[in-house]
A and B are shown apart, each in its own frame.
Chain A
């Protein structure tokens, strides 16, 4: 029943993953394609949400939930607000002349595609074997992540928390001049 395309077995999970990934990609295009800034922001919200669902299908449920809580739930609301309150008017067309930025951008985009392709194509063409982690089911749970954060990566973790604290103190200082 399960077909194989290249070296990959087609399972219902894979089809679901593909479908969600496709919609997420369409939303990502929508972010830059829409003229209306609020629509773009909403596309980004849907994209973040679908990304979280993708994490779920990959057994990384902790990462997926964090994605929703932090990005979709908090950061995007603020984004949406800034966009709404700026009340961007209609579209103003800018006549762009030959811009070196465009050329560099296209070059970087092609580079990204090459890197991604180099990862995806060899297993598809059965040139390289797929690397499968032995216990995929456990690696994304809160226990595994907590253990890694507080043993292997404890110094970067603490450094990041100090950085966040500095950010908070700085924002309070900026917002409240007279304390």
Chain B
């Protein structure tokens, strides 16, 4: 089949890619919504949606085949997102009278645009017809460019609603997206420099090489996933924080902070238009998850092992290695692993949401500008030194240079920090003093109530 597709016209190949891979990956969205609600419910010690879709057949009716009488089928509430979607569609679509009509209607569509446009940049598998729609030499920059459009949907929604809370939400969102885009671009730039190319497919090819560029066992049996290198690990952490901020997910959901801004930028939206914002958020979670897994954890490979190199090194078990290589993604299984990795990233998104409280606005800004951006820039310097040292001498000298330069930068950071803190008092520390302390409970009350007498 792969051979057959390769001989088709490029436009038809692109169509196949969009229809069979990009669009179905969006079918995960309802599942993701269900998964988020169930997982959050579990984390918060409650049940979550677990009823919709359960079928219980009648025990006495003649219309039920005897095989099914009295049987129960549970779907664990999997149909809940569809029920929710039905509810959203059939709700009354209220448009406040003071809104700026044209912009109010455009905004939800614009919010969907980045997620849909980013879907085309993903390499789905080892075949040419599974590579990105436009595999031009600016692929990563394209990701940056399109993700910067994300701000328009929110800002325009906030403006057009003619509501001060919405406008505040839009303002916050634009400040947040612009500041976190910088650190995100810097962390991507590290990987681009280490790869030497802006193509996502070249980035994957680089990650298939031997670990740390050392071409002898055991290193040449492990793939050089970017997350396994020191600079790549730092870049991956920075990118994943920025990714959560870019998608406006908790703990970075200041644009829609319920306890401050009603519902933020989508306060005035109802029915399908609200559903569009909702969809856009979950779509971008999946798309960013796929991008993260492509850039940092080897894209369509399941495990970081080079089974082709193993087959070369230990030819006695050649068939076993080849079979494992097929399982590992050098086959039509590749898109499955891409989606699986994206689902893992989405799960960690939900986990973070269940764990961390929302940031205060000044914390958000200081995290973005004072921590992530300098950290990413230092990482960029380390990568540059690594490239030079590796090219001048050998990979080992390169890694020694990485350690030295990272240590030097850390020492510099500590020195600057000490100089700064010597001059001015630390204003960040806060403490709470209880004025009206509650009376201490007596010992007797703390003891568990005695079991009921039998």
Contacts and interface: CB of A to CB of B under 8 A. Distances in A.
Interface of A: 36, 38-39, 42, 45, 52, 61-62, 65-66, 68-69, 72-74, 77, 80-81, 84, 141-143
A164 to B, nearest CB: 14
A84 B159 contact: yes
Interface string B171-196: 10010001001000000000000000
B149 A72 contact: yes
What does DSSP make chain A's interface, helix, strand, loop or mixed? Answer: helix
Interface residues of B, number: 24
Contact of A69 (B137, B148, B151, B167): B148
B137 A142 contact: yes
Interface in B101-152: 102-103, 136-138, 141-142, 144-146, 148-149, 151-152
B401 interface: no
Contact of B148 (A38, A74, A142, A143): A74
Interface string B66-107: 000000000000000000000000000000000010110000
B235 to A, nearest CB: 19
Contacts of A69: 141, 144-145, 148
B310 interface: no
A42 B103 contact: yes
Interface of B: 100, 102-103, 136-138, 141-142, 144-146, 148-149, 151-152, 155-156, 159, 167, 171, 174, 178, 181, 198
Contacts of B178: 74, 77
B180 to A, nearest CB: 13
Contacts of B159: 38, 80, 84
Contacts of A61: 136-138
Contacts of A77: 151-152, 155, 174, 178
Nearest to B192: A142
Contacts of A66: 141
A39 B148 CA distance: 20
A81 B148 CA distance: 15
B446 to A, nearest CB: 52
B137 A143 contact: yes
26 contacts: A38-B100, A39-B103, A42-B156, A45-B152, A61-B136, A61-B138, A62-B137, A62-B141, A65-B138, A65-B141, A65-B145, A66-B141, A68-B145, A68-B146, A68-B148, A72-B145, A72-B149, A73-B144, A73-B145, A73-B181, A77-B151, A77-B152, A77-B155, A77-B174, A80-B156, A84-B155
